[in-house]
Structure formats: structure tokens, C-alpha cells
Structure 1
């Protein structure tokens, strides 16, 4: 059992998501940075299906009610155990009654805390993930929450530390042409892949709102709603693109100019307000 003492700006339970429900309007959700969440699970020997805690901008404090094996990955928040520095990207034993705390990461946005056995909250539609757009799954964590620990673990881990590069505050994301590129002026594609874009403050798990040159449309009529995927770069009437993340809506009615490749979605998920991002044509 883990007891939440402080949640920070936002902490949620996440796993690989609830797949296969888009037909009834339910998005996949799940960890925004699946690579970091998966690494955290591997470091403690968990099954890939185990749920972890996604911690946005640090600030999480939890107390172990029994001895637990944990790992913290993703945005490199300072980890302290019982008031002393503790390792990051490595398995860590937390004794009964000890308090684990995450500071604010200097780069990146989302850190992941895995506990051996997984966070065992009740699944909804096959997933323990919090979907912040629809409200499905457990509510965001609050002080006083008690989180059961499950049994989704395999062999004991045999690694001391994972050598992982920290997130970049100026990533370059690979994109493919979107299905409605023809709804934008021909120059819009060139502008998208040649200019800097700033992440604005009104960004979240649903998507990143980007500030930069206006992307002009070539058509002013209404586009019927179409399916969306993580990584879709949609252009609303104001010409400022939106890059959709894990909790994106299932459909949207604005043209999708580009789609970020799956391999680069973890880097996109680590962008925070004020960061700069560039796009390049996928090869």
C-alpha cells in the first residue's frame, strides 16, 4: 500500500491504456510517455500491463506502508527517500513507513513512479488509466489517497541503473503528411517543418497548443468530424497548431496537417510550457 501525502500539480494512475473502444467514443489514454512508463516497470520487474503513477512537474510525496521496490523514470526529478537523495532510473527499496518525494524536474514534464506489482486500482474498460478528458478511470491523486499494490510482477530485476538520456527542451519531432494537408495553403507544410514552435501554457495531457507563424487555410468551409490519433497536428481557424497527446478526443473537425511518428511521441509528452519544438519530415 502507498499513501499519498502530496500530489503536486497533477498525479494520475496510468498504464498502456484502454485500447479498442474508439468506436464508442473512448480514447486510448494511458501514459503520455509510454517509453518512460515502460522503463519504470522493467526496472522493478513488472509485467508490461502494470499501472504506474504519472507525476506532472514533480511535487509527489508518498509513504510506503510496507517494504516496496520502486523506480522513478521520465523527467529527471530529484528523488529523496527519508529526506536523503535517492537514485533515479534505478530500482530503489523503500522501507515500511519511509517517505519518497519527487522534486521539480529541471527538464521535461512527466516523471513515472513504478512499484513492484503495479498500482492495483480497479480497472475501467480494461485499463487503470485516468483519462482527463472523459473522466474515465480513477480520479487524479489527492493527499490521503491509499493505493493498493498488485501482483503484476515477474522475475526480480537484475539491473542497477538504466543509462537513459534526459528529455530535451528543444526536441525535433518527425512528422508524416496528414490526411487534410490540402486544406491548408501550400506554404503551410514548409512553415511547419522549418520554423520554431513554442509550447503555450494552455497545454495538457489532451494536447500541446503551439505558438508560431499562422498556418493559413486554403478552404473556409466546414470539415466533417474525422478520427484522430495521438500525434495528430490539427490546425484550428486561428492558424495555431495543436499537437494531440494521450487524452486526445476520438474525433475532430479541423484539418490535420501532419502526424508525429509514434517513436517521437514520448519526446512530445515531455514538453512543457515555454519549451521550443521543431518538426522535420520523417524519412
Structure 2
């Protein structure tokens, strides 16, 4: 068992999500930086889909009732009291692990050998902040069960965190509503910035507004991970893990999924550029 001594601003249980339920209005959810969670799981000997913690910006503190092998990846914290970043290490029984605020990036991941054994919902242990499925965001005093370890920790000295370039480059594929915009290619000439209003649902961007060619509103239609929706004000947003499955604003394009982890780790004010992919005419 793990007892949450300090939950921080937003710490949630995450795995690789619950894909396959969009037809019922349920998004996949899961970690917004899947490679970081998968690396943490690999370091402690878990399968990549095991549940761990996604810790947002402010860090957290955890008391371990039994000794456990853990790993911390993703956004680099200012300190890890009780271990090191990017390598598997042992927290002793009754040991306190303190993960400091993120020094770089936004979301830090913690994996525990055996995985967090909270009850699954629709095959996943992920917290979905939009629909409310899965365990609630952690609060001080919560207790988390840990499953039995099934593999050996990775024999590594250190794993280098993924570098996030500036500006963040997002490859953008067209559609389905490119024809709703007067000059859709203008999105490639503009530089945007990550808004403080971003969250697990979407990265909202500030910058030049995209002018519509078509007035009125759409009937709600399907949305996918990485869809770039443009609300009436004209500033785009990029949907992340907890995105809704339908929406009524036009989608100008879809970001390549491989580029989304870097966006999810980008702090407010980070510059963002879109790169053209596919045929836009």
C-alpha cells in the first residue's frame, strides 16, 4: 500500500487508457505523455500498460508501507527525495518519497513495480477528468494498493529525458473541415503559444485568429486525439487524452500523435508552430 501524504495540484492514476469506447461517448484518456509512462514501467519491470501516477507541476509525497522498486520519468522534478530521476530505485518499508515541483516540463510519471492495483473501469485504471471515469484525482490521505511485481528492474544507470524543442513543432494533417476557413494555410505561417487554460482535455493556444469562410455552426461530429478545433474566436486548440468524442466547432486538421507528448509537456507561453503534412489544396 502507498499512502498519499501530499497529493499536489493534480495527481492522477494513469495507464495507456481505454480505447474502443468512443462510439459510446467515452474517450480513451490515459497518460498524456505515454512514452514517459511506458519508460517508467519498463525501468521497474512492469508491462507498458501498467498503471502509475501522473503528477502535474507541483509534485507530491508518498509513504510506502512496504519496500518497493519505483522509477520517476517525464518532466524533470527539482528534487526526488528518497531516490533519483530516470533510474529504478528502492523505497524502503515506511519510506517517504518526495517528488518536488517540475523544474522542466509539466507532468512527471511514477511507476511502482507491480503497478497500482486500483479497480479498473472498462478495462483501464486511468482517471478521465472529463467524463469522471476511473479513480478520482488523488487527495491527501488516499491509499493506493500495489500489485505483485512480475518482472525485474531494468539494468540501467540513467535514462535521459526526452528533449522538448522550442518552438514545439506539430505536424498537421488536413481535414475534415479545411473548407470552412478563408485561408487555412495561414496556420502554418503563424506562431502560437500554449495558454494557461490548457489541461488534460486540450492544449489551448493563443495567437493569430483563423478566419472562417463558412458562417453558422456545425452539427456535432466525431473528434479524435490530436484534432485541432477552432472555436468562434479563431484561436485553435489541440485535443489531448481526455478530449470529448464529439464537438460542433470545425476541425481544421489533426496533429500527428507522435508529436503530442511534447505539447503535453509544454508550459504556458511555450511557442508552437504547425508543420504542413498531406495535401491542403
TM-score, normalized by length of structure 1? 0.94
Q: Paired residue for 1:160?
A: 157
Where 2:189 maps in the other structure, the secondary structure is coil
Q: Paired residue for 2:110?
A: 113
* Structure 1 CA distance for aligned equivalents of residues 29 and 166 of structure 2: 23
Q: 1:106 offset after TM fit, Å?
A: 2.5
Cα distance change on mapping 1:263 and 1:152 into 2, 3 Å: farther
Gaps of 5+ in 1: none
- What RMSD, in angstroms, separates the aligned Cα atoms of the two structures? 1.4
Matches within 5 A, 1:109-188: 109-151=106-148, 153-168=150-165, 170-185=167-182, 187=183
Q: Paired residue for 1:29?
A: 29
Q: 1:53 offset after TM fit, Å?
A: 0.1
* Structure 1 CA distance for aligned equivalents of residues 270 and 64 of structure 2: 34
Q: Write out per-residue CA displacement over residues 85-131 of structure 1, whole angstroms, 9 at most, x where no aligned residue.
A: x3211111111122111122222101100001101100011100000
Q: Paired residue for 1:233?
A: 228
Q: Write out per-residue CA displacement over residues 57-93 of structure 1, whole angstroms, 9 at most, x where no aligned residue.
A: 03211111111100011111133224xxx32111111
Where 1:209 maps in the other structure, the secondary structure is strand
* Structure 2 CA distance for aligned equivalents of residues 105 and 57 of structure 1: 5
> After TM superposition, what 4+ stretches of structure 1 lie above 6 angstroms from structure 2?
none
Matches within 5 A, 1:1-283: 1-82=1-82, 86-151=83-148, 153-168=150-165, 170-185=167-182, 187=183, 189-282=184-277
Cα distance change on mapping 1:152 and 1:97 into 2, 3 Å: closer
Q: Is the 8 A contact 1:71 1:92 kept in 2?
A: yes
Q: 1:272 offset after TM fit, Å?
A: 2.2
Cα distance change on mapping 1:167 and 1:111 into 2, 3 Å: farther
Q: Is the 8 A contact 1:36 1:73 kept in 2?
A: yes
Q: 1:169 offset after TM fit, Å?
A: 5.4
| Greater mean deviation of Cα atoms: 266-275 or 239-248 | 266-275
TM-score, normalized by length of structure 2? 0.95
Where 1:193 maps in the other structure, the secondary structure is helix
The aligned length equals 278
